[in-house]
Amino acid sequence: MSGAVDGLCLFALVTGTPGRARLHAADGAPVHFVEAGGFTWAVASRAQRPEPTLEALEDWDAVVRRIHARCEATLPFRFGAWISSVDDAARSMRGSARALRAALRQVAGREQMALRLLGPEGVADEVPTRRPPSEYASGAAFLKDRARRAREMREVPELAAVRAAVARLVRGERADRHDGQGRLRATVFHLIDRGGAAAYRRLVRQSAGIPEGFRLAIVGPGPAYAFAPEVSA
């Protein structure tokens, strides 16, 4: 990269860069793979942070997918990650370096699938109750209850049969139960080996299925958005 720029869109950390293959962002700016802080950063020059419009979100995802298709491991950043320089970003994330390296190893040669559980229309989901901190006898009791609630939010018993059916393909899992508003009740993200999506879909279809009244949407394959550590840029 050469010349002065106002900032950089930070798309992902990667390993196994695509060599001479040329990639471009939606506005035509070339995607560069820059070494800094022991990582390879996929970035593109941009004067300012992109606005969160539907078109911009779709454009960002399209770039990340092109990067993912050409690199061995792709660890995407959230939409709108924008930095003044790669060196500054590397310094700010120094404390997360170990977690980032572990995540890159986990996603190498893999892709993400997602199971979205849709509940019956007009029937509210039951979610773990949340009590105000003042109702707890001690700080330890508060922390214990918060851990219980977080655990329950990750449990999706309606998908137990489906999760068991695909278990042999799964290399990583994240589950998120939603807040009970609307039809989307939960999302389970699975990390599988690249090229395994057809087998994954077949196993889902052959499984014992889900309770009556629910629907299941299979999303993927795609970059491993759900398996990136929580870092800011």
Q: What percent of the chain has pLDDT over 70?
A: 80
Q: Is 213 helix (H, G, I), strand (E, B) or coil?
A: coil
Q: Which range has the worst mean pLDDT, 13-17, 102-106, 122-126, 189-193?
A: 122-126
| Distance separating the N- and C-terminal Cα atoms of the chain | 20
Q: Model's pTM, two decimal places?
A: 0.81
174: CB partners within 8 A, 6+ apart: 188, 189, 226, 227
Domains of the chain: 8-107 (no CATH), 111-227 (3.30.70)
Structure-derived torsion over alpha carbons of residues 132, 137, 140, 141, reported in degrees to the nearest 10: -60
Picking from 17, 36, 18, 22, the residue whose alpha carbon sits closest to that of residue 8 is 36
**Is residue 33 within a helix (H) or strand (E), and if so which, with residue range?**
strand 32-36
Q: What is the pLDDT of residues 204-214, one digit of tens each?
A: 999 988 888 89
